[in-house]
Amino acid sequence: MGMPMIDRLPAERGSSKEHLRRVRIFLADISEITRLNAVRDAWVAPGQTPPRVTAQARLADPHWRIEAMVARQIAALGSSVGNQALQRPCIRRKMSECTH
């Protein structure tokens, strides 16, 4: 279960999904929010669901179905950081790549 890219990038920087501070999600089709919620609920750390904003938007690539920006705490810094510290702030995925 999970979202491999969202797991991998923070691990490379000493963090994990347990340290999510906020998530911004843009869907190409807002009717997929129920599917998104199911994937998120199966993936998120129990009791540690971060604040989230979800909106419908025209994404940069017409083949993308979801784009997410996450902010998480970096263990080495010991503080919440935004996208500047992650170096790759936008994580773009096809909804079909989400597994649960």
Q: Give me the pLDDT at residue 5, please.
A: 67
Q: What percent of the chain has pLDDT over 70?
A: 60
Rounded Cα gap, residues 7 and 43, in angstroms? 10
In a domain, 80, yes or no: yes
The closest of 36, 31, 53 to 97, measured between CA atoms, is 36
Q: Tell me the average pLDDT across 39-59.
A: 88
CATH number at residue 61: 3.30.1330.40
Would you place residue 32 in the very low, low, confident or very high pLDDT band (cuts 50, 70, 90)? Answer: very high
Task: Give me the chain's average pLDDT, please.
Answer: 74
The closest of 20, 99, 35, 28 to 67, measured between CA atoms, is 28
In a domain, 17, yes or no: yes
The structural domain count of the chain equals 1
Question: Cβ contacts of residue 50 below 8 Å, gap of 6+?
Answer: 20, 21, 22, 23, 44
Q: pTM for the whole thing? A: 0.65
In a domain, 75, yes or no: yes
